[in-house]
């Protein structure tokens, strides 16, 4: 049997209402914060990601779907969106026409990770990028925005972690101190952390090994080495969160995987979805745009995984509204009236009423079963005695009542009833 590729998933009609529901809420909240949607291609030239995310990160070194196309250009399916948005921002000189661009996206992403619960190779993110201001109030807005979406979805068991990575200069100084400390414990570090020690020392904080974590407990904290400006920036972010009654805890080990962060980083994690617990993450990146060839422009953003949000909602028993209900199912009583079913169906559908009927020559009983399966609000019977009297029999499937409607040329009254039922 032909199967989908490991780590990819079909979203079938039985589940699509969950996706539509989440995406609707996401779009509404982005709109209330005045973020405008941006869509970029599924793939980019590889250098877009290579130059931004950082060569030594897991994404670039192990996870990208990269291939040469027929003209021998190296192409990569996007593993994250920030780099793609920044590429578009620079290419279209978006900073010239507007000094602050608040953008959002919803898009599939691709990473060749080991598939497991909550971790896929094609997954879906929504997120925001606000480009053009270094205000700490904007860092706070991004965190509040992500928090509010998760709250509006009804997810409860969450915690907000924040940290500050300061500016690259203080981070470089700190890395030397960290390296001096870890050298003393080098032989006890896990193999993975030994590799990170050489290539990307801050990432040792992401280690899952309990021995590594034990060593890290006594490591110097980057927060103690931030410059005055960074501390002030961080203090305002925390104050705004407090003013908005968003509980957070400062986690000095929250370095996040990517190289481009400066100042604030944050993550919202769920206690309801197992090991892959991060629902969303993000932070500030004041040097990225310049690094990719644009004018120096500060930025801040976040990305959230839709699969994990849906999983958290399912695990917390949060219902997904499903408005996929049919307004009416037309049941054909006399086979010779099939053309009329078609005609009425067209008139109703043309008026925006959700209608379906039988195409399988089924018995009346089977048609009624189908109407029930589709959860139709009304059944309209086409044919029978009523029809010869010039009326249609209408059954309200919610309360079981039946009524008759005169068949007018334009079926106006039927349309009115259906509309009233919406
Ligand atoms: P990141 O870009 O790695 O910070 O990821 C942001 C969010 O995307 C995470 O918090 C997850 O919710 C989601 N995510 C990242 N990688 C995956 C994956 N492989 N499968 C499913 N969701 C993911």
**How far from 230 is each of 133, 236, 238, 314, CA to CA, in Å?**
15, 10, 12, 39
At 75, is the pLDDT very low, low, confident or very high (cuts 50, 70, 90)? very high
pLDDT tens profile 210-220: 999 999 999 99
> With 90 as the cut, is the pLDDT of residue 420 above it?
no
127 lines ligand 1 (CB under 6 A): no
How far apart CA 314 and CA 117 sit, in angstroms, is 13
> With 90 as the cut, is the pLDDT of residue 303 above it?
yes
Rounded to the nearest whole angstrom, what is the distance from the C-alpha of residue 295 to the centroid of ligand 1?
Answer: 29
The class (CATH top level) of 328-421 is alpha beta
Nearest to 268 by CA among 151, 407, 180: 151
pLDDT tens profile 397-419: 999 999 888 776 556 667 777 77
- Bridge-based pairing of strands 43-45 and 378-382 is unpaired
| Best probe residue, ligand 1, of 65, 261, 303 (max atoms within 8 Å of C-beta) | 303
Whether 16-167+227-315 and 328-421 share one fold: the answer is: no
State the average pLDDT over residues 33-61. Answer: 90
**How far from 79 is each of 27, 110, 120, 261, 295, CA to CA, in Å?**
22, 5, 11, 17, 24
Domain ranges for the chain: 16-167+227-315, 328-421
**How far from 95 is each of 52, 132, 136, 181, 297, CA to CA, in Å?**
19, 7, 19, 43, 8
Rounded to the nearest whole angstrom, what is the distance from the C-alpha of residue 136 to the centroid of ligand 1?
Answer: 24
Q: What is the per-residue pLDDT for 366? A: 98
State the average pLDDT over residues 155-173. Answer: 93
pLDDT over 70 percentage in the chain: 97
Specify which residues 280 forms β-bridges with.
268, 304
Rounded to the nearest whole angstrom, what is the distance from the C-alpha of residue 175 to the centroid of ligand 1?
Answer: 26
> With 80 as the cut, is the pLDDT of residue 135 above it?
yes
Tokens 């839709």 — which residue? 306
pLDDT tens profile 230-257: 999 999 999 999 999 999 999 998 987 6
Q: What is the per-residue pLDDT for 345? A: 92
pLDDT tens profile 385-395: 887 788 889 99
Tokens 């997954």 — which residue? 123
Average per-residue pLDDT in the chain?
92
> With 60 as the cut, is the pLDDT of residue 1 above it?
yes
Q: What is the per-residue pLDDT for 86? A: 96
Q: What is the per-residue pLDDT for 340? A: 87
Give one word for 193, left, alpha or beta, with left for phi > 0 and alpha for psi -120 to 50.
alpha
At 112, is the pLDDT very low, low, confident or very high (cuts 50, 70, 90)? very high
> With 60 as the cut, is the pLDDT of residue 422 above it?
no
Domain topology for 16-167+227-315: BirA Bifunctional Protein; domain 2 (3.30.930)
Rounded to the nearest whole angstrom, what is the distance from the C-alpha of residue 284 to the centroid of ligand 1?
Answer: 17
State the average pLDDT over residues 3-18. Answer: 96
Q: What is the per-residue pLDDT for 56? A: 73
280 lines ligand 1 (CB under 6 A): yes
Q: What is the per-residue pLDDT for 413? A: 67
> With 90 as the cut, is the pLDDT of residue 355 above it?
yes
State the average pLDDT over residues 54-69. Answer: 86
State the average pLDDT over residues 304-331. Answer: 94
Q: What is the per-residue pLDDT for 324? A: 78
């Amino acid at each position: 049997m032909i199967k989908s590729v490991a780590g990819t998933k079909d979203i079938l009609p039985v589940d699509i209402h969950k996706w539509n529901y989440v995406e609707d809420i996401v779009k509404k909240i982005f709109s209330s914060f005045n973020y405008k949607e941006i869509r970029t291609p599924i793939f980019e030239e590889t250098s877009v990601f290579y130059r931004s995310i950082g060569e030594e990160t897991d994404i670039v070194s192990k996870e990208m779907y990269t291939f040469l196309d027929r003209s021998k250009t190296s192409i990569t399916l996007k593993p994250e969106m920030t780099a793609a948005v920044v590429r578009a921002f620079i290419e279209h000189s978006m900073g010239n026409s507007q000094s602050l661009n608040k953008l959002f996206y919803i898009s599939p992403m691709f990473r060749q990770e080991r598939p497991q619960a909550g971790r896929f190779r094609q997954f879906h993110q929504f997120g925001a990028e606000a480009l053009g201001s270094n205000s700490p109030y904007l860092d706070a807005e991004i965190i509040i925005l992500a928090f509010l979406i998760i709250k509006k979805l009804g997810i409860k068991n969450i915690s907000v972690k924040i940290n500050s990575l300061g500016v690259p200069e203080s981070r470089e100084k700190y890395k030397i101190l960290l390296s001096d400390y870890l050298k003393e414990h080098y032989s006890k570090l896990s193999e993975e952390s030994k590799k990170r020690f050489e290539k990307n020392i801050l990432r040792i904080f992401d280690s899952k090994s309990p021995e590594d974590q034990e060593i890290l407990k006594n490591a110097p904290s980057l927060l103690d080495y931030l410059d005055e400006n960074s501390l002030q920036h961080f203090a305002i972010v925390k104050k705004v969160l407090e003013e908005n009654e968003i509980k957070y805890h400062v986690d000095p080990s929250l370095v996040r995987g990517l190289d481009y962060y400066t100042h604030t980083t944050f993550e919202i994690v769920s206690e309801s979805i197992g090991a892959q617990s991060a629902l969303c993450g993000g932070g500030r990146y004041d040097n990225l745009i310049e690094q990719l060839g644009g004018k120096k422009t500060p930025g801040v953003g976040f990305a959230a995984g839709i699969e994990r949000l849906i999983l958290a909602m399912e695990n917390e028993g949060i219902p997904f509204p499903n408005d996929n209900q049919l307004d009416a199912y037309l049941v054909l009583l006399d086979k010779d009236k099939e053309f009329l079913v078609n005609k009425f169906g067209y008139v109703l559908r043309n008026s925006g009423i959700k209608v379906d009927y039988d195409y399988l020559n089924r018995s009346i009983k089977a048609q009624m079963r189908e109407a029930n399966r589709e959860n139709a609000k009304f059944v309209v019977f086409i044919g029978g005695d009523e029809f010869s009297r010039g009326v249609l029999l209408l059954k309200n499937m919610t309360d079981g009542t039946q009524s008759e409607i005169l068949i007018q040329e334009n079926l106006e009254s039927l349309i009115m009833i259906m509309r009233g039922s919406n």
